[in-house]
Structure 1
Amino acid sequence: MAKRAKTPPKRSRISPKLPKVSPGELLTLLDFVRYAVSRFNEAKLTFAHGTTDPVAEAAFLVCETLHLHPDQFENFATARVAAHEAREILDVIGRRVTSRRPAAYLVNKIYMRGLPFYVDERVIVPRSFIGELLDSHFGGLDGEGPHLIEDASAVEGVLELCTGSGCLAILSSVAFPNAQIDAVDISKDALAVAARNVVDFGLEDRIALHRGDLYAPVAGKRYDLIIANPPYVDAAGMASLPAECRAEPKIAFDGGIDGIDIVRRILDEAKEHLTPQGGLLCEVGRCSEALEAAYPRAEFLWLDTEDSTGEVFWITASDLANLHKRGD
């Protein structure tokens, strides 16, 4: 049985304007982080977009404003901030509180597995658990877990469905160095963002972007691995999305009444697009129980990450073939 997944955070109220800060009151990076955390807590912001708490989000915004990688924060934590930099930091903190837009939209950047990606309001802010699993279970950078595909270098073809900003396709190019990757999305706007990221990483020769409905643009092709992070928020979840999530494209969330409308289609058609030794890696969030109820005899392997339990499943091509033979 799937383990219970996390429920979405409650919708937050709109917060008042920030108090004025006199010059010289805040001096170091730590000072500004502390101030931001206090304001974020006061406003009861939601953190679900790459950072999971107010401290991490404050440090992220301070570093981005100062053109520092997040990993450099500790080196400069006690460094003094110039006056013009202080104004910029206070401005972005204020906009985060008053607009309730995701921090990634304010600075047009998000980090996944330490790599920077461009994002804006045309795409959902990437925070998929699949990025970590590519490292831990597919012979990637970590290689700590069981390898679901024994030889990552032997993977020749990867398909990513619902690619959005293209982050998982790009991370797949790292995990599978010899693979050609097809990335599909129904949104023209999302693909424009993905194209920018593909160019930024110099992967035009390895990642092909396709506009269309799931498998339609790649009909007749088979892959060693299919990756999907589709819309999977159910009706109850859609009704209680916090303000930050309502700033993102609705199409990237809405999974129908039970959350698995798109997941069903991905699962039902996957066997026609996998090589015999291939498999499907799919994120479903809190809908794991609904999925198991819909496919009671499916051999789902539920994978945990540092921040999730049972929100991503793996199923092999052979198990998919057997599933359909049994008529599920």
Structure 2
Amino acid sequence: MQDDQSMITIGDAIEDTCRQLEASDVFYGHGTDNPWDEAVQLVLAACSLPADSDRSVIEQPVGEAESGQIERWLRERISKHVPLPYLTGKAWFAGIEFLSDARALVPRSPLAAVIQSAYAPWYAGPEPRRLLDLCAGGGSIGIAAALHDPQLEVVLTDLDSAALTLARENIDKHHLGGRVITVESDLFAALEGQRFDIILSNPPYVDAQDLADMPMEYHHEPPQGLGSGADGLDITRKILASASEYLQPWGLLVVEVGNSWEALEAAYPSVPFTWLEFSEGGHGVFALDAQTLQDSTASLS
């Protein structure tokens, strides 16, 4: 039993956790980019407090059970480099909480900003009614789109059945069963005849060299969600070759390719990719409208 003199507070726990993280060699890239924010998320989750708790919680005492959880998670984080969302079971994307575990990549993508901007100024069609989240993993992109637009119907596709099971759990979490569905599919294979106003995709796009050099944290994630051939473009090539068949005439395709953007430009020098800029960070996201995709058919096939 802890007595009053030995009782630590939330603030104490955060400071101690931060010091231990600072002294470690962990990599930050799964929801935070610094040890303080990582410490805050870890401690608040261990104490069953909301991630957006204000400073009023820092004087709250930490019980024995919560202290033990902090110690266990911190040990896993530092010694095994497990991404924090896999420890807490929670991740945030576009300001929304999602269930997160090793069945799918930890949600992270500048596509959140595209959703929050209502696809402006890149989408020029009528009010979108159908959206496809291609290579959806745990479903964060498509679910965020559905939550930001109550009129939108969303299809989540992925080849990985385990990832789609997690996606369905996230659909249930956000009570979206009437508007968001999952389809197990190798890209567009199971979507014949369907058309969408918007296709969003964060496919595997890491090239072989970057994959080999990635910090240990990324090796806890499913490898099929990261690597995509020698230049990182194996899957993106397939998307580009077929996407126009699944878009409405006014439709928009938005794809994240990260550091492989230079290889994409070199592979398709005649395709006028629109590269999106983000005020809060992120790069390697392109947009192409349906007409441009059709006009570029010869180059993309």
Structure 2 regions of 5+ residues with no counterpart? none
Paired with 2:63 and 2:10, the residues of 1 have a C-alpha distance of 10
**Number of matched residues?**
299
What is residue 93 of structure 1 aligned with on the other side? Answer: 74
Letter in 2 for 1:66: C
Deviation (angstroms), 1:35? 1.4
- Normalized against structure 2, the TM-score is what? 0.93
Q: 1:73 to 1:98 in 2, by over 3 A?
A: farther
Q: 1:116 to 1:257 in 2, by over 3 A?
A: same
- Normalized against structure 1, the TM-score is what? 0.86
Are 2:135 and 2:156, in contact at CA under 8 Å, matched by a contact in 1? yes
Give CA-to-partner distance per residue, 1:167-225, whole Å, 9 cap, x none.
Answer: 11101102332221111100011011001111111111111101120000101111100
Letter in 1 for 2:22: N
Alignment of 1:1-328 (within 5 A): 27-138=8-119, 146-150=120-124, 154-325=127-298
Q: 1:195 to 1:160 in 2, by over 3 A?
A: same
Q: 1:24 to 1:296 in 2, by over 3 A?
A: farther
Are 1:134 and 1:172, in contact at CA under 8 Å, matched by a contact in 2? yes
Paired with 1:116 and 1:311, the residues of 2 have a C-alpha distance of 25
Deviation (angstroms), 1:290? 0.6
Q: 1:303 to 1:327 in 2, by over 3 A?
A: closer
What is residue 9 of structure 1 aligned with on the other side? Answer: none
Deviation (angstroms), 1:151? 7.0
Q: 1:98 to 1:24 in 2, by over 3 A?
A: farther
What is residue 18 of structure 1 aligned with on the other side? Answer: none
Counterpart secondary structure, 2:182:
strand
Paired with 2:25 and 2:207, the residues of 1 have a C-alpha distance of 24
Paired with 1:275 and 1:30, the residues of 2 have a C-alpha distance of 52
Give CA-to-partner distance per residue, 1:127-176, whole Å, 9 cap, x none.
Answer: 111112210252xxxxxxx4323578x21111111100011110110233
Paired with 2:46 and 2:222, the residues of 1 have a C-alpha distance of 25
Letter in 2 for 1:183: L
Letter in 2 for 1:47: Y
Deviation (angstroms), 1:89? 1.8
Paired with 1:57 and 1:256, the residues of 2 have a C-alpha distance of 32
Counterpart secondary structure, 1:310:
coil
Paired with 1:23 and 1:190, the residues of 2 have a C-alpha distance of 45
Q: CA RMSD in A?
A: 2.0
Any runs of at least 4 consecutive aligned residues in structure 1 with deviations exceeding 6 A, and if so which? Answer: none
Deviates more, 1:80-89 or 1:111-120: 80-89
Deviates more, 1:157-166 or 1:113-122: 113-122
What is residue 7 of structure 1 aligned with on the other side? Answer: none
Identity across the alignment (%): 31
Letter in 2 for 1:234: D
Paired with 1:273 and 1:326, the residues of 2 have a C-alpha distance of 18
Are 2:31 and 2:92, in contact at CA under 8 Å, matched by a contact in 1? yes
Are 1:65 and 1:88, in contact at CA under 8 Å, matched by a contact in 2? yes
Counterpart secondary structure, 1:276:
strand
Deviation (angstroms), 1:92? 1.7
Paired with 1:170 and 1:55, the residues of 2 have a C-alpha distance of 29
Paired with 1:310 and 1:242, the residues of 2 have a C-alpha distance of 19
Paired with 1:93 and 1:25, the residues of 2 have a C-alpha distance of 20
Deviation (angstroms), 1:23? 9.7
What is residue 3 of structure 1 aligned with on the other side? Answer: none
Paired with 2:71 and 2:279, the residues of 1 have a C-alpha distance of 32
Are 2:124 and 2:250, in contact at CA under 8 Å, matched by a contact in 1? no
Structure of higher RCO (CA pairs closer than 8 Å, 6+ residues apart): 1
